[in-house]
Structure 1
Amino acid sequence: MRQQSMIMNILMVIGLFFAGSIILSIVLGLVGSLLWFAIKIMIPVAIAVWLVRMISGPSNRRRYY
Protein backbone atom coordinates (compact mmCIF):
# COMPACT_ATOMS: atom_id res chain seq x y z
CA MET A 1 0.00 0.00 0.00
CA ARG A 2 1.20 3.45 -0.84
CA GLN A 3 1.08 6.07 1.93
CA GLN A 4 -0.71 9.32 1.25
CA SER A 5 1.28 12.49 1.20
CA MET A 6 1.23 15.00 4.06
CA ILE A 7 -0.61 17.58 1.94
CA MET A 8 -3.33 15.07 1.11
CA ASN A 9 -3.77 14.24 4.80
CA ILE A 10 -4.04 17.94 5.68
CA LEU A 11 -6.60 18.51 2.92
CA MET A 12 -8.63 15.52 4.10
CA VAL A 13 -8.68 16.84 7.68
CA ILE A 14 -9.72 20.29 6.47
CA GLY A 15 -12.48 18.73 4.36
CA LEU A 16 -13.63 16.67 7.32
CA PHE A 17 -13.82 19.77 9.52
CA PHE A 18 -15.68 21.66 6.78
CA ALA A 19 -18.25 18.88 6.30
CA GLY A 20 -18.63 18.48 10.07
CA SER A 21 -19.25 22.19 10.51
CA ILE A 22 -21.93 22.18 7.83
CA ILE A 23 -23.69 19.19 9.40
CA LEU A 24 -23.41 20.69 12.89
CA SER A 25 -24.79 24.00 11.65
CA ILE A 26 -27.80 22.29 10.08
CA VAL A 27 -28.54 20.17 13.15
CA LEU A 28 -28.18 23.06 15.60
CA GLY A 29 -30.30 25.27 13.35
CA LEU A 30 -33.09 22.70 13.34
CA VAL A 31 -32.91 22.18 17.11
CA GLY A 32 -32.89 25.92 17.74
CA SER A 33 -35.85 26.56 15.48
CA LEU A 34 -37.82 23.74 17.11
CA LEU A 35 -37.09 25.14 20.57
CA TRP A 36 -38.09 28.64 19.45
CA PHE A 37 -41.33 27.31 17.97
CA ALA A 38 -42.11 25.33 21.12
CA ILE A 39 -41.49 28.36 23.33
CA LYS A 40 -43.51 30.59 21.02
CA ILE A 41 -46.47 28.20 21.31
CA MET A 42 -46.10 27.11 24.94
CA ILE A 43 -45.83 30.54 26.59
CA PRO A 44 -49.22 31.81 25.29
CA VAL A 45 -50.83 28.44 26.11
CA ALA A 46 -49.41 28.55 29.64
CA ILE A 47 -50.64 32.13 30.12
CA ALA A 48 -54.11 31.20 28.82
CA VAL A 49 -54.35 28.18 31.13
CA TRP A 50 -53.19 30.28 34.07
CA LEU A 51 -55.77 32.99 33.30
CA VAL A 52 -58.60 30.47 32.95
CA ARG A 53 -57.68 28.86 36.27
CA MET A 54 -57.32 32.25 37.91
CA ILE A 55 -60.71 33.45 36.69
CA SER A 56 -62.69 30.25 37.25
CA GLY A 57 -60.83 29.06 40.35
CA PRO A 58 -62.66 30.81 43.23
CA SER A 59 -66.17 30.17 41.87
CA ASN A 60 -65.46 26.43 41.60
CA ARG A 61 -64.14 26.28 45.17
CA ARG A 62 -67.21 28.04 46.60
CA ARG A 63 -69.54 25.72 44.73
CA TYR A 64 -68.01 22.58 46.28
CA TYR A 65 -68.31 23.83 49.88
Structure 2
Amino acid sequence: MEQRSMLLNILMVIGFFFIGSIILSIILGLLGGLLWLAIKILIPVAIAVWLVRMISGPSNSRRYY
Protein backbone atom coordinates (compact mmCIF):
# COMPACT_ATOMS: atom_id res chain seq x y z
CA MET A 1 0.00 0.00 0.00
CA GLU A 2 1.39 3.35 -1.04
CA GLN A 3 1.56 6.22 1.44
CA ARG A 4 0.37 9.67 0.48
CA SER A 5 2.60 12.67 0.88
CA MET A 6 2.12 15.19 3.68
CA LEU A 7 1.16 17.91 1.20
CA LEU A 8 -1.59 15.72 -0.30
CA ASN A 9 -2.96 14.94 3.17
CA ILE A 10 -3.09 18.63 4.06
CA LEU A 11 -4.82 19.49 0.78
CA MET A 12 -7.36 16.71 1.33
CA VAL A 13 -8.18 18.03 4.82
CA ILE A 14 -8.54 21.58 3.50
CA GLY A 15 -10.79 20.33 0.70
CA PHE A 16 -12.91 18.34 3.16
CA PHE A 17 -13.41 21.41 5.35
CA PHE A 18 -14.20 23.56 2.30
CA ILE A 19 -16.87 21.15 0.99
CA GLY A 20 -18.24 20.66 4.51
CA SER A 21 -18.60 24.40 5.02
CA ILE A 22 -20.48 24.78 1.75
CA ILE A 23 -22.91 21.99 2.68
CA LEU A 24 -23.36 23.37 6.20
CA SER A 25 -24.02 26.84 4.80
CA ILE A 26 -26.74 25.50 2.49
CA ILE A 27 -28.43 23.53 5.29
CA LEU A 28 -28.33 26.43 7.75
CA GLY A 29 -29.64 28.77 5.05
CA LEU A 30 -32.64 26.52 4.49
CA LEU A 31 -33.29 26.24 8.23
CA GLY A 32 -33.02 30.00 8.59
CA GLY A 33 -35.52 30.50 5.78
CA LEU A 34 -38.00 28.14 7.41
CA LEU A 35 -37.57 29.89 10.74
CA TRP A 36 -38.16 33.27 9.07
CA LEU A 37 -41.31 31.89 7.45
CA ALA A 38 -42.61 30.64 10.80
CA ILE A 39 -41.91 33.88 12.63
CA LYS A 40 -42.99 36.38 9.99
CA ILE A 41 -45.98 34.63 8.44
CA LEU A 42 -47.31 31.62 10.34
CA ILE A 43 -47.31 33.04 13.87
CA PRO A 44 -49.28 36.22 12.98
CA VAL A 45 -51.76 34.13 10.98
CA ALA A 46 -52.19 31.77 13.94
CA ILE A 47 -52.76 34.72 16.29
CA ALA A 48 -55.33 36.23 13.91
CA VAL A 49 -57.22 32.92 13.63
CA TRP A 50 -57.15 32.51 17.42
CA LEU A 51 -58.50 36.06 17.92
CA VAL A 52 -61.30 35.55 15.41
CA ARG A 53 -62.33 32.28 17.07
CA MET A 54 -62.13 33.85 20.52
CA ILE A 55 -64.26 36.84 19.51
CA SER A 56 -66.85 34.91 17.53
CA GLY A 57 -66.85 31.75 19.67
CA PRO A 58 -69.33 32.63 22.45
CA SER A 59 -71.90 34.15 20.08
CA ASN A 60 -72.10 30.86 18.15
CA SER A 61 -72.75 28.81 21.30
CA ARG A 62 -75.72 30.99 22.40
CA ARG A 63 -77.83 30.35 19.32
CA TYR A 64 -81.23 28.78 19.92
CA TYR A 65 -82.92 26.82 17.17
TM over 0.5, shorter chain = yes
Specify every segment of 5 or more residues in structure 2 that has no aligned partner in the other structure, as ranges: none
AA matched with 2:53: R
Q: Could you report, residue by residue, the CA deviation over 1:10-57 in whole angstroms, capped at 9, with x for unpaired residues? A: 111111111101110111111111221122111111111111111111
Number of aligned positions between the proteins? 65
Any residues of structure 2 matched to 1:38-57 within 5 Å, and which? 38-57=38-57
Percent identity between the two aligned chains? 82
Instruction: Judging by fraction of residues, say which structure has more helix.
Output: 1
Take 2:2 and 2:39, find their aligned partners in 1: how far apart are those partners?
55
Q: Structure 1 runs of 4+ off > 6 angstroms?
A: none
Specify every segment of 5 or more residues in structure 1 that has no aligned partner in the other structure, as ranges: none
TM-score, scaled relative to structure 1: 0.82
TM-score, scaled relative to structure 2: 0.82
